[in-house]
């Protein structure tokens, strides 16, 4: 089984999973038609299913066109307002979905927007986190609440530490500037920022990251940390209050 991260648009990523044994191919998010179709065709793969994390246009713009070209089925969360006509199956109420040998766990992770799904594939030690967690950062609040996002990140923190996190955007470098302003003496963070600078200077992706990596460097997963609390002058606040303050500060950074 293989997993491929595909750069799309300005700074988006889509993720493909292909199972050689069953010849099944799944796509997670559809930000742009061409780069995804190119990889499918270069490998001679059909597309069996498209799984949507959330309905921001930069994650779904090519969903209908890829569905039509490859005759794929599309899965995604149900919107509170209205449905999307290219969706075949609403899956927000499922805990798990299986395609042949590929078992996927489904997590409700509101916060960025109310309807967002994270897909976790234990056999690949991988989670498609899209716009919930970014490397060194987290989602902006665009319809959900900071409290919801905090709870969603707490849920994702329960995954095994060696889980690969496939984030929806290459935001790591700019996120690092905020992170280091909040947590300036964090040696793991200083090291990560240097690595990110090197990778980006060669136009290489900084993703996927791992949960353990983020736990040691990402301020939004470190609200308990004494140094971060000192910076914010919030020594006795709850983790959730620290998170909310970090999110507010990042918005105007």
- Give the binding site for Fe ion (CB under 5 A): 56, 58, 131, 168
CA dist 33 and 156 (Å) reads 29
CA dist 138 and 132 (Å) reads 6
Shortest Cβ distance from residue 5 to Fe ion (Å)?
A: 15
169 binds Zn ion (CB under 5 A): no
Buried-state track 237-247, b at ≥16 Cβ within 10 A, e below 16: eeeebbbbbbb
The region of 36-44, 78-86, 129-137, 238-246 touching Zn ion under the rule CB under 5 A is 129-137
The residue (of 112 and 222) whose beta carbon lies closer to Fe ion is 112
The residue (of 77 and 168) whose beta carbon lies closer to Fe ion is 168
Shortest Cβ distance from residue 196 to Fe ion (Å)?
A: 19
CA dist 65 and 75 (Å) reads 15
Shortest Cβ distance from residue 64 to Fe ion (Å)?
A: 18
Q: Say if residues 150 and 111 touch (Cβ distance below 8 Å).
A: yes
Which residues touch 124 (CB under 8 Å, ≥6 apart)? 1, 3, 17, 164
131 binds Zn ion (CB under 5 A): yes
User: Does residue 208 have a cis bond before it (omega within 30 degrees)?
Assistant: yes
The residue (of 58 and 227) whose beta carbon lies closer to Zn ion is 58
The residue (of 131 and 148) whose beta carbon lies closer to Fe ion is 131
Residue 31 contacts which entry, Zn ion, Fe ion, none (Cβ below 5-8 A, type-dependent): none
The residue (of 111 and 168) whose beta carbon lies closer to Fe ion is 168
DSSP for 202-232, please give it. TT----SEEHHHHHHH-GGG-TT-HHHHHHH
Residue 192 contacts which entry, Fe ion, Zn ion, none (Cβ below 5-8 A, type-dependent): none
- Angle, CA 240 vertex, CA 237 and CA 244 arms, to 5°: 95
Shortest Cβ distance from residue 120 to Fe ion (Å)?
A: 19
CA dist 149 and 118 (Å) reads 12
Q: Say if residues 162 and 212 touch (Cβ distance below 8 Å).
A: yes
Shortest Cβ distance from residue 81 to Zn ion (Å)?
A: 16
The region of 66-74, 95-103, 131-139, 203-211 touching Zn ion under the rule CB under 5 A is 131-139
The residue (of 131 and 214) whose beta carbon lies closer to Fe ion is 131
Residues in the chain, how many?
253
Site for Zn ion in 25-84 (CB under 5 A): 56
148 binds Zn ion (CB under 5 A): no
Q: Kindly list the residues in this chain that would bind Zn ion in the complex (CB under 5 A).
A: 56, 131
């Amino acid at each position: 089984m293989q997993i491929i991260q595909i750069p799309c648009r300005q700074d988006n990523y889509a993720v493909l999973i292909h199972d050689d044994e069953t010849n099944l191919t799944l796509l997670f998010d559809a930000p742009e038609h061409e780069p995804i179709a190119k990889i499918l065709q270069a490998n001679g793969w059909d597309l069996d299913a498209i799984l949507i994390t959330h309905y921001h246009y930069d994650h779904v713009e090519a969903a209908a066109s890829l569905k039509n070209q490859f005759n794929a089925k599309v899965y995604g969360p149900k919107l509170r307002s209205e449905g999307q006509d290219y969706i075949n199956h609403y899956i927000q109420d499922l805990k798990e979905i299986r395609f042949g040998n590929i078992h996927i766990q489904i997590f409700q992770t509101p916060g960025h927007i109310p309807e967002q799904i994270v897909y976790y594939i234990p056999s690949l030690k991988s989670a498609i986190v899209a716009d919930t967690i970014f490397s060194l950062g987290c989602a902006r609040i665009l319809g959900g609440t900071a409290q919801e996002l905090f709870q969603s990140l707490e849920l994702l923190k329960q995954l095994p530490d060696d889980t690969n996190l496939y984030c929806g955007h290459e935001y790591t470098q700019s996120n690092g500037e905020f992170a280091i302003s909040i947590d300036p003496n964090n040696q793991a963070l200083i090291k990560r920022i240097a690595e990110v600078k090197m990778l980006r200077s060669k136009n290489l992706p900084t993703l996927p990251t791992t949960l353990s990596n983020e736990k040691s460097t990402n301020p939004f997963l470190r609200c308990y940390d004494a140094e971060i609390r000192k910076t914010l002058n919030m020594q006795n606040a709850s983790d959730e209050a620290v998170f909310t303050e970090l999110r507010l500060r990042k918005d105007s950074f």
